[in-house]
A and B are shown apart, each in its own frame.
Chain A
Amino acid sequence: MKKSFAALAALAVLGSAAFAQDMPKEVKARQGQFQILALNLGVLGGIAKGAIEYDEATATAAADSIVGVSMVHQATLFTEGTDSMSIDGTRAMPAIWENMDDFASKWGDLGTAAAEMQTAAATGKEAIGPALGKIGGACKACHDTYRAPE
Chain B
Amino acid sequence: MGILKYLIPVAVIAAGVGWVVTAPGSVDAARYDGVTGNAEAGETVFTAAGCASCHHAPQSEDKLVLAGGQPFASDFGTFYAPNISPSDAGIGGWTVADLAGALTQGVSPDGQHYYPAFPYTSYAKMEPQDVADLHAYMQTLPASDVASKPHDVGFPFNIRRSLGGWKLLFFSDDYVMEASDEAGGARGRYLVETLAHCAECHTPRNPLGGLDKAMWMGGAPNPSGQGTIPRLTPDKLTWSAEDIAYYLESGFTPEYDSVGGHMAEVVDNFSKLSAEDRLAVAQYIKALPALGQ
Contact = CB atoms under 8 A, between A and B. Distances in A.
Interface of A: 1, 3-5, 8, 37-39, 41-42, 45, 49, 84, 91, 132-133, 136-137, 139-141, 143-145, 147-150
Interface in B217-269: 222, 226-230, 238, 242, 246, 249-252, 254-265, 267-268
Given A136-B251, A140-B267, A148 B256 contact: no
A38 B256 contact: yes
Given A136-B251, A148-B226, A149-B226, A37 B256 contact: yes
Contacts of A38: 255-257
Q: How large is the interface on B (under 10, 10 to 19, 20 to 34, 35 or more residues)?
A: 20 to 34
Contacts of B262: 144, 149
A3 B238 CA distance: 10
DSSP class of A's interface residues: helix, strand, loop or mixed?
helix
A139 B263 CA distance: 13
Nearest to B271: A133
Nearest to B250: A136
A42 B256 contact: yes
Contact of B261 (A41, A49, A144): A144
B261 A148 contact: yes
A45 B261 contact: no
A41 B256 contact: yes
B256 A143 contact: no
A144 B260 contact: yes
22 contacts: A4-B238, A37-B256, A41-B252, A41-B256, A45-B256, A84-B226, A133-B250, A136-B251, A136-B258, A139-B259, A140-B251, A140-B259, A140-B267, A143-B251, A143-B259, A144-B261, A144-B265, A148-B260, A149-B260, A149-B263, A150-B230, A150-B260
A136 B59 CA distance: 20
A150 B228 CA distance: 6
Contacts of B222: 149
Which residue of B230, B259, B263 has the most chain A CB atoms within 10 A of its CB atom? B259
Contact of A149 (B227, B255, B258): B227
Contacts of A4: 238, 254-255
Which residue of B59, B251, B263 has the most chain A CB atoms within 10 A of its CB atom? B251
B261 A147 contact: yes
Nearest to A146: B260
Contacts of B271: 133
Which residue of A37, A144, A147 has the most chain B CB atoms within 10 A of its CB atom? A144
A45 B261 CA distance: 23
Contacts of B227: 148-150
A127 B30 CA distance: 51
A90 B121 CA distance: 35
A78 to B, nearest CB: 16
Contacts of B258: 136, 139-140, 143
A149 B103 CA distance: 28
B261 A149 contact: yes
The 5 closest A-B pairs by CB, nearest first: A144-B264, A139-B258, A149-B261, A149-B227, A143-B260
B260 A39 contact: no
A8 B257 CA distance: 11
A91 B226 CA distance: 10
A145 B172 CA distance: 34
Contacts of A84: 226
B251 A139 contact: yes
A140 B226 contact: no
B32 to A, nearest CB: 35
A43 to B, nearest CB: 9
Contacts of B255: 4-5, 8, 38, 42
A93 to B, nearest CB: 9
A147 B271 CA distance: 20
Contacts of B229: 149
Contacts of A8: 255
Contacts of B228: 149-150
Contacts of A42: 255-256
Given A133-B249, A147-B260, 6 more contacts: A41-B256, A45-B256, A136-B250, A143-B251, A144-B262, A150-B228
